[in-house]
Protein backbone atom coordinates (compact mmCIF):
# COMPACT_ATOMS: atom_id res chain seq x y z
CA UNK A 1 0.00 0.00 0.00
CA UNK A 2 1.17 3.50 -0.84
CA UNK A 3 0.86 6.13 1.87
CA UNK A 4 0.20 9.42 0.11
CA UNK A 5 1.73 11.39 2.95
CA UNK A 6 4.91 9.32 2.80
CA UNK A 7 5.09 9.76 -0.95
CA UNK A 8 4.71 13.54 -0.63
CA UNK A 9 7.45 13.64 2.00
CA UNK A 10 9.71 11.64 -0.28
CA UNK A 11 8.99 13.76 -3.32
CA UNK A 12 12.25 15.63 -2.91
CA UNK A 13 14.08 12.34 -3.55
CA UNK A 14 11.82 10.96 -6.24
CA UNK A 15 8.76 8.79 -6.59
CA UNK A 16 8.60 6.59 -3.44
CA UNK A 17 12.37 6.41 -3.12
CA UNK A 18 13.13 6.05 -6.84
CA UNK A 19 15.53 8.92 -7.58
CA UNK A 20 15.07 11.17 -10.54
CA UNK A 21 11.40 10.64 -11.31
CA UNK A 22 10.42 13.71 -9.34
CA UNK A 23 12.75 16.65 -8.88
CA UNK A 24 13.03 19.03 -5.94
CA UNK A 25 10.01 21.20 -5.41
CA UNK A 26 7.57 18.79 -7.06
CA UNK A 27 4.72 17.33 -5.07
CA UNK A 28 2.08 14.73 -5.75
CA UNK A 29 -1.40 15.54 -6.97
CA UNK A 30 -2.81 12.07 -6.57
CA UNK A 31 -2.76 8.44 -7.46
CA UNK A 32 -4.66 6.83 -10.33
CA UNK A 33 -4.21 3.09 -10.07
CA UNK A 34 -0.46 2.69 -9.87
CA UNK A 35 0.32 5.92 -11.76
CA UNK A 36 1.47 8.90 -9.71
CA UNK A 37 0.91 12.30 -11.28
CA UNK A 38 3.33 15.09 -10.32
CA UNK A 39 2.36 18.73 -9.80
CA UNK A 40 4.45 21.79 -9.24
CA UNK A 41 4.41 23.17 -5.67
CA UNK A 42 4.84 26.68 -4.38
CA UNK A 43 8.41 25.78 -3.50
CA UNK A 44 9.25 24.79 -7.05
CA UNK A 45 12.43 26.45 -8.14
CA UNK A 46 12.80 28.01 -11.61
CA UNK A 47 14.55 25.96 -14.28
CA UNK A 48 18.20 26.75 -14.81
CA UNK A 49 20.55 26.46 -17.77
CA UNK A 50 21.97 23.34 -16.16
CA UNK A 51 18.50 21.76 -16.16
CA UNK A 52 18.07 22.59 -19.84
CA UNK A 53 21.42 21.00 -20.63
CA UNK A 54 20.47 17.88 -18.70
CA UNK A 55 17.19 17.61 -20.61
CA UNK A 56 18.76 18.27 -24.01
CA UNK A 57 21.59 15.82 -23.70
CA UNK A 58 19.19 13.01 -24.63
CA UNK A 59 17.65 14.81 -27.61
CA UNK A 60 18.94 14.06 -31.14
CA UNK A 61 20.56 16.98 -32.89
CA UNK A 62 18.16 18.06 -35.61
CA UNK A 63 19.76 20.35 -38.18
CA UNK A 64 16.68 20.85 -40.38
CA UNK A 65 13.20 22.36 -39.84
CA UNK A 66 11.56 18.93 -39.63
CA UNK A 67 12.67 15.41 -38.76
CA UNK A 68 11.85 14.26 -42.30
CA UNK A 69 14.05 16.96 -43.80
CA UNK A 70 16.79 16.14 -41.31
CA UNK A 71 16.71 12.46 -42.29
CA UNK A 72 16.73 13.35 -45.97
CA UNK A 73 19.77 15.57 -45.43
CA UNK A 74 21.58 12.83 -43.50
CA UNK A 75 20.85 10.27 -46.21
CA UNK A 76 22.05 12.68 -48.90
CA UNK A 77 25.25 13.26 -46.91
CA UNK A 78 25.90 9.50 -46.85
CA UNK A 79 25.31 9.20 -50.59
CA UNK A 80 27.60 12.14 -51.33
CA UNK A 81 30.32 10.74 -49.08
CA UNK A 82 30.05 7.37 -50.86
CA UNK A 83 30.36 8.99 -54.27
CA UNK A 84 33.43 10.92 -53.19
CA UNK A 85 35.06 7.76 -51.85
CA UNK A 86 34.24 5.81 -55.01
CA UNK A 87 35.71 8.52 -57.21
CA UNK A 88 38.86 9.18 -55.18
CA UNK A 89 39.72 5.87 -53.53
CA UNK A 90 37.76 3.18 -55.35
CA UNK A 91 35.12 0.62 -54.53
CA UNK A 92 36.91 -1.08 -51.64
CA UNK A 93 37.14 2.21 -49.74
CA UNK A 94 33.36 2.70 -49.57
CA UNK A 95 32.76 0.88 -46.28
CA UNK A 96 30.06 1.90 -43.78
CA UNK A 97 32.74 3.14 -41.35
CA UNK A 98 34.52 5.20 -44.00
CA UNK A 99 31.27 6.60 -45.40
CA UNK A 100 29.90 7.73 -42.03
CA UNK A 101 33.29 9.14 -41.07
CA UNK A 102 33.49 11.19 -44.25
CA UNK A 103 29.90 12.35 -43.79
CA UNK A 104 30.57 13.36 -40.17
CA UNK A 105 27.97 10.95 -38.77
CA UNK A 106 28.16 8.22 -36.15
CA UNK A 107 28.97 4.70 -37.31
CA UNK A 108 25.65 3.34 -36.04
CA UNK A 109 23.65 5.95 -37.98
CA UNK A 110 24.52 4.17 -41.24
CA UNK A 111 22.00 1.42 -40.52
CA UNK A 112 19.20 3.91 -39.93
CA UNK A 113 19.28 4.61 -43.66
CA UNK A 114 20.71 1.50 -45.34
CA UNK A 115 20.38 -2.14 -44.35
CA UNK A 116 23.75 -3.03 -45.86
CA UNK A 117 26.64 -1.77 -47.96
CA UNK A 118 24.99 -3.36 -50.99
CA UNK A 119 21.86 -1.29 -50.41
CA UNK A 120 24.00 1.85 -50.24
CA UNK A 121 25.73 1.07 -53.54
CA UNK A 122 22.40 0.42 -55.26
CA UNK A 123 21.09 3.74 -53.91
CA UNK A 124 24.17 5.53 -55.28
CA UNK A 125 23.66 3.83 -58.65
CA UNK A 126 20.04 4.95 -58.72
CA UNK A 127 21.07 8.53 -57.96
CA UNK A 128 23.82 8.51 -60.60
CA UNK A 129 21.63 6.99 -63.31
CA UNK A 130 18.77 9.37 -62.54
CA UNK A 131 21.14 12.32 -62.97
CA UNK A 132 22.41 10.82 -66.23
CA UNK A 133 18.88 10.35 -67.54
CA UNK A 134 17.85 13.87 -66.49
CA UNK A 135 20.68 15.38 -68.54
CA UNK A 136 19.81 13.17 -71.49
CA UNK A 137 16.14 14.12 -71.23
CA UNK A 138 17.05 17.82 -71.39
CA UNK A 139 19.14 17.26 -74.51
CA UNK A 140 16.42 15.20 -76.19
CA UNK A 141 13.72 17.73 -75.39
CA UNK A 142 15.73 20.40 -77.20
CA UNK A 143 16.04 18.28 -80.38
CA UNK A 144 13.47 17.49 -83.05
CA UNK A 145 11.99 13.97 -83.03
CA UNK A 146 13.59 11.42 -85.32
CA UNK A 147 17.26 11.28 -86.29
CA UNK A 148 18.08 14.69 -84.75
CA UNK A 149 17.01 13.30 -81.40
CA UNK A 150 19.08 10.14 -81.87
CA UNK A 151 22.10 12.30 -82.72
CA UNK A 152 21.48 14.34 -79.58
CA UNK A 153 21.33 11.14 -77.53
CA UNK A 154 24.69 9.95 -78.84
CA UNK A 155 26.56 13.25 -78.61
CA UNK A 156 25.23 14.00 -75.11
CA UNK A 157 26.11 10.55 -73.79
CA UNK A 158 29.64 10.80 -75.15
CA UNK A 159 30.09 14.34 -73.86
CA UNK A 160 29.01 13.27 -70.38
CA UNK A 161 31.42 10.36 -70.56
CA UNK A 162 34.26 12.74 -71.41
CA UNK A 163 33.26 14.90 -68.43
CA UNK A 164 33.57 11.91 -66.09
CA UNK A 165 29.85 11.37 -65.53
CA UNK A 166 30.13 7.70 -66.45
CA UNK A 167 33.09 6.95 -64.18
CA UNK A 168 30.94 6.12 -61.18
CA UNK A 169 28.76 3.76 -63.19
CA UNK A 170 31.89 1.93 -64.33
CA UNK A 171 33.11 1.59 -60.75
CA UNK A 172 29.74 0.39 -59.51
CA UNK A 173 29.58 -2.34 -62.16
CA UNK A 174 32.61 -3.92 -60.49
CA UNK A 175 30.84 -4.28 -57.13
CA UNK A 176 30.55 -7.82 -55.78
CA UNK A 177 26.89 -7.64 -54.83
CA UNK A 178 24.47 -10.19 -53.46
CA UNK A 179 22.16 -11.76 -56.07
CA UNK A 180 19.24 -9.60 -54.95
CA UNK A 181 21.27 -6.40 -55.01
CA UNK A 182 22.70 -7.38 -58.39
CA UNK A 183 19.16 -7.70 -59.75
CA UNK A 184 18.31 -4.30 -58.28
CA UNK A 185 21.38 -2.80 -59.93
CA UNK A 186 20.47 -4.29 -63.29
CA UNK A 187 16.93 -2.94 -62.97
CA UNK A 188 18.39 0.49 -62.32
CA UNK A 189 20.70 0.16 -65.31
CA UNK A 190 17.80 -0.87 -67.55
CA UNK A 191 16.25 2.51 -66.88
CA UNK A 192 19.08 4.05 -68.88
CA UNK A 193 17.74 2.50 -72.07
CA UNK A 194 14.26 4.02 -71.67
CA UNK A 195 15.05 7.37 -73.38
CA UNK A 196 16.71 5.55 -76.28
CA UNK A 197 13.74 3.23 -76.71
CA UNK A 198 11.43 6.24 -76.91
CA UNK A 199 13.66 7.84 -79.54
CA UNK A 200 13.55 4.67 -81.63
CA UNK A 201 9.78 4.42 -81.22
CA UNK A 202 9.50 7.94 -82.65
CA UNK A 203 11.64 6.78 -85.58
CA UNK A 204 9.16 3.96 -86.28
CA UNK A 205 11.69 1.17 -85.69
CA UNK A 206 9.97 -2.24 -85.76
CA UNK A 207 11.43 -3.56 -82.50
CA UNK A 208 12.78 -0.58 -80.53
CA UNK A 209 13.88 -2.64 -77.54
CA UNK A 210 16.03 -5.04 -79.56
CA UNK A 211 17.42 -2.26 -81.74
CA UNK A 212 17.91 -0.17 -78.62
CA UNK A 213 20.06 -2.90 -77.07
CA UNK A 214 22.17 -2.99 -80.24
CA UNK A 215 22.53 0.79 -80.32
CA UNK A 216 23.39 0.79 -76.62
CA UNK A 217 26.11 -1.79 -77.29
CA UNK A 218 27.64 0.36 -80.02
CA UNK A 219 27.34 3.43 -77.80
CA UNK A 220 29.06 1.54 -74.98
CA UNK A 221 32.03 0.86 -77.27
CA UNK A 222 32.14 4.53 -78.24
CA UNK A 223 32.01 5.55 -74.58
CA UNK A 224 34.92 3.22 -73.84
CA UNK A 225 36.95 4.92 -76.57
CA UNK A 226 36.15 8.36 -75.15
CA UNK A 227 37.01 7.26 -71.63
CA UNK A 228 40.45 6.23 -72.97
CA UNK A 229 41.07 9.65 -74.45
CA UNK A 230 39.64 9.47 -77.96
CA UNK A 231 38.03 12.87 -78.76
CA UNK A 232 34.25 13.08 -78.55
CA UNK A 233 33.63 14.73 -81.95
CA UNK A 234 35.08 12.10 -84.30
CA UNK A 235 33.79 9.27 -82.13
CA UNK A 236 30.27 10.71 -82.17
CA UNK A 237 30.46 11.40 -85.91
CA UNK A 238 31.50 7.82 -86.67
CA UNK A 239 28.79 6.28 -84.51
CA UNK A 240 26.10 8.60 -85.82
CA UNK A 241 27.07 7.81 -89.42
CA UNK A 242 26.78 4.09 -88.69
CA UNK A 243 23.40 4.56 -87.03
CA UNK A 244 22.05 6.73 -89.81
CA UNK A 245 22.92 4.09 -92.39
CA UNK A 246 21.63 1.30 -90.18
CA UNK A 247 18.85 2.48 -87.90
CA UNK A 248 17.84 5.28 -90.25
CA UNK A 249 17.61 2.92 -93.22
CA UNK A 250 15.51 0.40 -91.30
CA UNK A 251 13.05 2.99 -90.00
In this structure, what are the phi and psi dihedrals at residue 94, rounded to the nearest 5 degrees? -85, 70
Taking residues 220-227, report their average pLDDT: 93
Q: What is the mean pLDDT of residues 181-187?
A: 75
47-61 burial, b at 16+ Cβ within 10 Å, e below that, comes to eeeeeeeeeeeeeee
Determine what percent of the chain is predicted with pLDDT higher than 70. Answer: 72
Contact of 74 with 84, CB cutoff 8 Å: no
For residues 128 and 246, membership in a common domain is answered with yes
Average pLDDT over residues 199-216: 92
Percent of the chain with pLDDT over 90: 44
pLDDT of residue 53: 41
Q: Indicate if 20 and 132 belong to the same structural domain.
A: no
pLDDT of residue 249: 57
Q: How many domains does the chain have?
A: 3
Q: Are residues 216 and 236 in the same domain?
A: yes
Pair 61, 79: CB distance under 8 Å: no
Distance CA 213, CA 218 (A): 9
Place 182 in a pLDDT band, splitting at 50, 70 and 90: confident
Q: How high is the pLDDT of residue 34?
A: 40
Which residues constitute the domain of residue 47?
A: 4-56
Q: Per mean pLDDT, which of 31-35, 69-73, 233-237 is the most reliable?
A: 233-237
Amino acid sequence: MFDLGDVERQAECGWAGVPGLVGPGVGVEGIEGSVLRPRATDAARPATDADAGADNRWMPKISAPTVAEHRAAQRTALLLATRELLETEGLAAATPAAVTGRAGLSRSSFYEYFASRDDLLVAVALQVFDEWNAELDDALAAAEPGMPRLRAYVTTALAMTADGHHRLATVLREADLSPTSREDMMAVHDRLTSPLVHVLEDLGVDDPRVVGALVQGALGSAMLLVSHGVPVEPTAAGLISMLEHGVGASA
